[in-house]
Structure 1
Amino acid sequence: MTWSTQTRAAFDLETTGRNSRAARIVTASIVVLGPDGSIESEHEWLADPGVEIPAEAAEVHGVTTEKARAEGRPAREVVAEVATTLQALFDRGVPVVAFNAAYDFTVMAAECARHGLPQLTRFPVLDPYVINKQVERYRKGKRTLGALCEQYGVILTDAHSSAADALAAAQLLDAMAGRFPELDRPAAHLHRSQVDWSAAQAADFQAYLRRTKPAAVVEGDWPVLAPHDAGQAGF
């Protein structure tokens, strides 16, 4: 059974910053899609991250510190529910689509470690970002979700809301599979390929950077980055 003929889910986070090991969850969305791509269920969360939301982050997703404190639920509750929902999908063998999955799943790993919650199995995951870098290796221009959606004719409304971005990522993957039929294979096979692709992509980029910056390091772990310190051991 290929991933496109089965139920699949899409996952996205909006957070307090770009550093995936330090960022806190502000909003989270999981959209479950049927085999035909129709929406079967949607889950959304707004968290009070327990820290100030930087102005530059709030400008992206629209959630200020004041709004999160007034309307958001405690961070641990949100992290626990998101993790439980994702794990239930993985336990059923439902592939989870996430654009630039290493960011979102590293945030989840750090948040679970921070709150003393079990780590996710994170299998199978499908990442249109890693996949696109493989099938369109020499593509020029930005490789953001918005840029790729425009290229593939996917309508992305309300960009940088977790719900819209999650759904767009799933629709983008469908569109990419239509152009590259070799992508339409069992999710487990594609997951394992992405582990290798991400490592190779990072090694190539690191070699390029080291022409001018000898100490440059590009991490290629996927779908979650390795911890940097013992305090985050376990993910």
Structure 2
Amino acid sequence: MSWISGPLVAFDLETTGTDVETDRIVTAAVVCLDSAGAVSAERTWLLNPGVDIPEQASAIHGVSTEHAREHGVPAASAIEEIVQAVAEGLRSGTPLVVMNARYDLSLLDRECRRYEIESISERLGSVPSPVIDPLVIDKHIDKYRKGKRALHALCAHYGVSLDDAHNARADAVAAARVVRRMGEKHQPVGLMPLADLHDLQVRAAAEQSVSLQAYLRRTADPTAVVEPAWPLIPRRR
């Protein structure tokens, strides 16, 4: 049976910024979708990240510092629950869908280190797998398509509804539905065994990073470095 006809688990974060080494989780969602694409189970979290949420981040996801402090749960306890939920999904063999996985999974990993919580990799004994990343797959199968590759753009391109962008639950559900549409439209990907698909994305993400780094060095910053690792950026020592 192809993975596109089976269940999927989707994971998404909204955060204080874009640096996996220093930024914090504000909201999170882990959502299970059945073979028809309907939500069969879900968990969501609102965290008090323990730091101020920058205004530019609040403008994107709608959570202010004051709201997070008043209504959010302590970060450490929530992160333990998030990691446990993601690890349980992967242990079941269900593929984990994460838009821009190297960001969300790496930030979650750093939060685990911050609070001395066992990470997903430590719980599984390996890097998270199988992971399916709509961003990496779309760039691989439709390399020369013009336009943006953000989730809202992928939803528009593949005909998937996204009514509440930057809501972690809505984004997680949309990412899973988008990647299933990708698999249906591009059968070589949709029929690929999950282990092979995961390995394909490792190679594709590295190639995409090399290409972007070369572009940035030509046009913007001669010293630009784009991380090639996927789905998890190695920790700095």
- Alignment TM-score, normalising by the size of structure 2: 0.93
> Aligned-pair distance for 1:5?
2.6
**Partner AA of 1:207 in structure 2:** A
Q: 2:13·2:26 contact (CA, 8 Å) conserved in 1? A: yes
Match of 2:73 in 1: 73
Gaps of 5+ in 2: 122-127
- Give the SS at the match of 1:110: helix
Q: 2:158·2:178 contact (CA, 8 Å) conserved in 1? A: yes
1:91-110 matched pairs, under 5 angstroms: 91-110=91-110
Match of 2:125 in 1: none
Q: Matched residues in 2 for 1:152 and 1:7: separation? A: 19
Q: Which of the numbers 211, 219, 222 marks the counterpart of 2:227?
A: 219
1:85-124 matched pairs, under 5 angstroms: 85-121=85-121, 122-124=128-130
- Give the SS at the match of 1:164: helix
Match of 2:196 in 1: 189
Q: C-alpha offsets along residues 107-147 of structure 1, whole Å, 9 cap, x if unaligned?
A: 10100111111121311110000000000101111111011
Aligned-CA RMSD value: 1.1
Q: Matched residues in 1 for 2:106 and 2:25: separation? A: 11
Match of 2:8 in 1: 8
Any runs of at least 4 consecutive aligned residues in structure 1 with deviations exceeding 4 A, and if so which?
Answer: none
Gaps of 5+ in 1: 231-235
**Partner AA of 1:7 in structure 2:** P
Count, aligned residues: 229
> Aligned-pair distance for 1:214?
2.8
- Alignment TM-score, normalising by the size of structure 1: 0.94
> Aligned-pair distance for 1:178?
2.0
- Give the SS at the match of 1:211: helix
> Aligned-pair distance for 1:172?
0.6
Q: Matched residues in 1 for 2:154 and 2:33: separation? A: 20
Q: Matched residues in 1 for 2:156 and 2:5: separation? A: 25
**Partner AA of 1:216 in structure 2:** A
- Give the SS at the match of 2:214: helix
Taking every aligned residue pair, what percent have the same amino acid on both sides?
A: 44
1:1-235 matched pairs, under 5 angstroms: 1-121=1-121, 122-184=128-190, 185-212=192-219, 213-228=221-236, 230=237
Q: Matched residues in 2 for 1:218 and 1:104: separation? A: 16
- Give the SS at the match of 1:210: helix
Q: C-alpha offsets along residues 85-123 of structure 1, whole Å, 9 cap, x if unaligned?
A: 011111111111011111100110100111111121311
Q: C-alpha offsets along residues 19-65 of structure 1, whole Å, 9 cap, x if unaligned?
A: 12211111000110112222110110010000001111111111111
- Give the SS at the match of 2:137: helix
> Aligned-pair distance for 1:227?
2.1
Q: Matched residues in 1 for 2:10 and 2:133: separation? A: 10
Q: Matched residues in 2 for 1:94 and 1:169: separation? A: 15
> Aligned-pair distance for 1:218?
1.0
Mean alpha-carbon deviation: is it higher for 16-25 or for 124-133? Answer: 16-25
Q: Matched residues in 1 for 2:218 and 2:68: separation? A: 44
